[in-house]
Chain A
């Protein structure tokens, strides 16, 4: 999965040199709004044909970075290259990228058909080609027959599809998506995640996807960049980022924050520093249970039990200080049994290989990781 940068993805021809150049290259990108640093030095290479997510909390600089790639914001410092060509000063209408906006930004005075055809219309595409490409785009998002409707007559999910069709109809080499599913309800969001991934596979366009939803990023992406305070903390495949978080911030933002530090780290692990154990890697045993040599263990008391349907989450207060969260699938346990565990003294046991050392002292990190994987 972690091929070196520049390596083409499987199934794509290697012969075209433009294909081999990264779809997007960001070189020390900085954006300042007055006194505020929105983006404070981002280096990144996004491969051609990749589904790339920019993940981070609000204000982390991910949307500003996307808007600079689209051309809506001019970088204060740094360069943006699209397929090896410097486009830093190029206005949006001359860039071979299209955007799906968070609020969809459909033109309310135009029909669905006119919205989708807009990009072709302003580029003076011949009428016959315009009509057939508009039809194709609407079919791709399963909205054939909706040409004559107005955006106001559509549901949120349908508007989202129109926005997608309106961008894809131009056949850009890079598609930018700014939290496109943010306004949809959970069920629809999960359906659209799969559909977006399928569409991306069909058209083979590079997708750059901004989201604050870690699950979404993990489900859809080939690679993820985790943003924090205007910098990238880690770039990697979903498995990389989840299982080998490099910093405290990544560990707590992607997945449940389960940190051992200071006294607890010394007592339980015998090491100084900050460490994480994923909640599903921990098992709950009785205090007298024996511990194998390749395992760590800690005594604690179950402070709270949260029943989640398929899983149960146990919050355990450790005797050594701090808390660990343990999730267990409800394979046999009923909700009654799970909830009865509250207050019980337990021994938490996990394998040594699942303990990951983290950079960065508390919950944030000042140090950025580069784009290199």
Chain B
């Protein structure tokens, strides 16, 4: 507390204490790091990793057959046995991975030309406009976009209205390709942006050197542009693949199909937490393998 008479003057006592602390801190790198990271580390350690660990433990705990409650520390592999013996789990996992792969390939094929145009051909003004246009859909809520697709795809919706003069019926809301279509639409920006950044980093002189050495446009693309942009494509695929793998709302709303997430949801809703936990390890393992491969391909330098 400062005396009223000293108002306006700096409080010498606290100021020197602050300076003293700053001087103490300046050479101590480790203390600086702790100050910077203590709060986020606490959060990650307790909330983030803690919940993952509990999830993991749940997968190995038994369910009391009588009450239906999870019995902690009652170790069993029954949940895994369930998943491996009942074919529905394998079918749904295969379907989810298949759609995630298809979505990733579709987005890569669509995103590359767009990103190439943005990075290497468009004028700076048009490039800025396109970046905004790519980001704009991300401002709209995921559910809103999914419901918009419902109105397009449903039996008497927009698509069936467009197709009816040709005698083709609309797709309705119970077709698996709908999930591929809508997920590809939803995650496209996550593929465009890394590829755009990757292509923008390639110096013009490399392309000129390739032409100078006798390569036509196709060869330059295959030998120079594609290898240099490939890590960026892998970086984008991490997003499209993992987001598709974890999705359970789109398949439910537009395809009436079960994905991994739907089975996890159903199991936990039915009170079969160990099976839900065990099954949720499956996409986690897939993503860990995927990230390992992506790292080997140099994708992390392109994020």
Interface, chain A (partner B; CB < 8 A): 70-72, 91-93, 97-99, 101-103, 105-109, 118-119, 122-123, 166-167, 170
Chain A residue with minimal CB distance to B208? Answer: A72
- CB pair B203 A166 closer than 8 Å: no
Chain B residue with minimal CB distance to A102? Answer: B205
With a cutoff of 8 Å between Cβ atoms, the chain B residues found around residue A166 in the complex are 209, 213
Sample (23) of A-B pairs whose CB atoms are under 8 Å apart = A71-B211, A72-B211, A92-B212, A93-B211, A93-B216, A98-B212, A98-B213, A99-B212, A101-B205, A101-B208, A101-B209, A102-B205, A105-B203, A105-B206, A107-B209, A108-B228, A109-B227, A118-B210, A118-B213, A118-B215, A122-B210, A170-B213, A170-B214
- CB pair B208 A92 closer than 8 Å: yes
With a cutoff of 8 Å between Cβ atoms, the chain B residues found around residue A93 in the complex are 211-216
Chain B residue with minimal CB distance to A99? Answer: B212
Q: Taking the nearest CB of chain B, how far is it from the CB of A186, in angstroms?
A: 24
Apart from A93-B212, A93-B214, A108-B228, list 15 A-B contacts with CB within 8 A.
Answer: A92-B208, A92-B211, A92-B212, A98-B212, A101-B205, A105-B209, A107-B206, A107-B210, A109-B228, A118-B210, A118-B213, A123-B214, A166-B213, A167-B212, A167-B213
**Best-buried of A101, A106, A167 by chain B (most CB within 10 Å):** A101
With a cutoff of 8 Å between Cβ atoms, the chain A residues found around residue B223 in the complex are 118, 122
- CB pair A91 B211 closer than 8 Å: yes
Interface, chain B (partner A; CB < 8 A): 203, 205-206, 208-216, 219, 223-224, 227-228
Closest 7 CB pairs of A and B: A119-B213, A105-B205, A105-B209, A92-B211, A122-B215, A99-B212, A109-B227
- CB pair A103 B227 closer than 8 Å: no
* A91→B224 CA distance, assembly (Å): 18
**Best-buried of B203, B209, B213, B214 by chain A (most CB within 10 Å):** B213
Q: Taking the nearest CB of chain B, how far is it from the CB of A25, in angstroms?
A: 20
* In the complex with contacts A107-B224, A108-B228, A109-B228, A119-B214 CB distance below 8 A: yes
- CB pair B212 A70 closer than 8 Å: yes
Main secondary structure on B side of the interface with A:
helix
Chain A residue with minimal CB distance to B216? Answer: A93
* A92→B223 CA distance, assembly (Å): 17
Chain A residue with minimal CB distance to B209? Answer: A105
Q: Taking the nearest CB of chain B, how far is it from the CB of A280, in angstroms?
A: 40
* A101→B207 CA distance, assembly (Å): 12
- CB pair B205 A122 closer than 8 Å: no
With a cutoff of 8 Å between Cβ atoms, the chain A residues found around residue B208 in the complex are 70, 72, 92, 99, 101, 105
With a cutoff of 8 Å between Cβ atoms, the chain B residues found around residue A123 in the complex are 214
* A71→B215 CA distance, assembly (Å): 13
- CB pair B213 A122 closer than 8 Å: yes
Chain A residue with minimal CB distance to B211? Answer: A92
* A118→B219 CA distance, assembly (Å): 11
* A91→B212 CA distance, assembly (Å): 9
* A118→B212 CA distance, assembly (Å): 11
With a cutoff of 8 Å between Cβ atoms, the chain B residues found around residue A97 in the complex are 212
Q: Taking the nearest CB of chain B, how far is it from the CB of A49, in angstroms?
A: 21
Chain B residue with minimal CB distance to A124? Answer: B214
Q: Taking the nearest CB of chain B, how far is it from the CB of A92, in angstroms?
A: 4
* A99→B214 CA distance, assembly (Å): 11
Chain B residue with minimal CB distance to A166? Answer: B213
With a cutoff of 8 Å between Cβ atoms, the chain A residues found around residue B213 in the complex are 93, 98, 118-119, 122, 166-167, 170
* A118→B207 CA distance, assembly (Å): 13
* A91→B220 CA distance, assembly (Å): 14
With a cutoff of 8 Å between Cβ atoms, the chain B residues found around residue A92 in the complex are 208, 211-212
* A101→B210 CA distance, assembly (Å): 12
* A98→B208 CA distance, assembly (Å): 11
* A7→B8 CA distance, assembly (Å): 88
* A107→B224 CA distance, assembly (Å): 7
With a cutoff of 8 Å between Cβ atoms, the chain B residues found around residue A91 in the complex are 211
**Best-buried of B203, B208, B216 by chain A (most CB within 10 Å):** B208
Q: Taking the nearest CB of chain B, how far is it from the CB of A103, in angstroms?
A: 6
Q: Which of A71, A107, A122 meets B219, CB within 8 Å? A: A122
With a cutoff of 8 Å between Cβ atoms, the chain B residues found around residue A101 in the complex are 205, 208-209
Q: Taking the nearest CB of chain B, how far is it from the CB of A138, in angstroms?
A: 16
Chain B residue with minimal CB distance to A101? Answer: B205
With a cutoff of 8 Å between Cβ atoms, the chain B residues found around residue A102 in the complex are 205
* A101→B214 CA distance, assembly (Å): 15
With a cutoff of 8 Å between Cβ atoms, the chain A residues found around residue B228 in the complex are 108-109
* A167→B205 CA distance, assembly (Å): 14
* A93→B220 CA distance, assembly (Å): 11
- CB pair B203 A103 closer than 8 Å: yes
Q: Taking the nearest CB of chain A, how far is it from the CB of B210, in angstroms?
A: 7
Q: Taking the nearest CB of chain B, how far is it from the CB of A367, in angstroms?
A: 33
With a cutoff of 8 Å between Cβ atoms, the chain A residues found around residue B206 in the complex are 105, 107
* A105→B213 CA distance, assembly (Å): 12
* A97→B212 CA distance, assembly (Å): 8
Q: Taking the nearest CB of chain B, how far is it from the CB of A348, in angstroms?
A: 48
With a cutoff of 8 Å between Cβ atoms, the chain B residues found around residue A70 in the complex are 208, 212
- CB pair B209 A99 closer than 8 Å: yes
Chain B residue with minimal CB distance to A108? Answer: B228
Q: Taking the nearest CB of chain A, how far is it from the CB of B70, in angstroms?
A: 52
With a cutoff of 8 Å between Cβ atoms, the chain B residues found around residue A72 in the complex are 208, 211-212
Q: Taking the nearest CB of chain A, how far is it from the CB of B120, in angstroms?
A: 15
* A167→B212 CA distance, assembly (Å): 9
With a cutoff of 8 Å between Cβ atoms, the chain B residues found around residue A99 in the complex are 208-209, 212
With a cutoff of 8 Å between Cβ atoms, the chain B residues found around residue A170 in the complex are 213-214
* A108→B201 CA distance, assembly (Å): 12
Chain B residue with minimal CB distance to A67? Answer: B208
* A92→B206 CA distance, assembly (Å): 13
With a cutoff of 8 Å between Cβ atoms, the chain A residues found around residue B210 in the complex are 107, 118, 122
With a cutoff of 8 Å between Cβ atoms, the chain A residues found around residue B216 in the complex are 93
With a cutoff of 8 Å between Cβ atoms, the chain A residues found around residue B214 in the complex are 93, 119, 122-123, 170
With a cutoff of 8 Å between Cβ atoms, the chain A residues found around residue B215 in the complex are 93, 118, 122
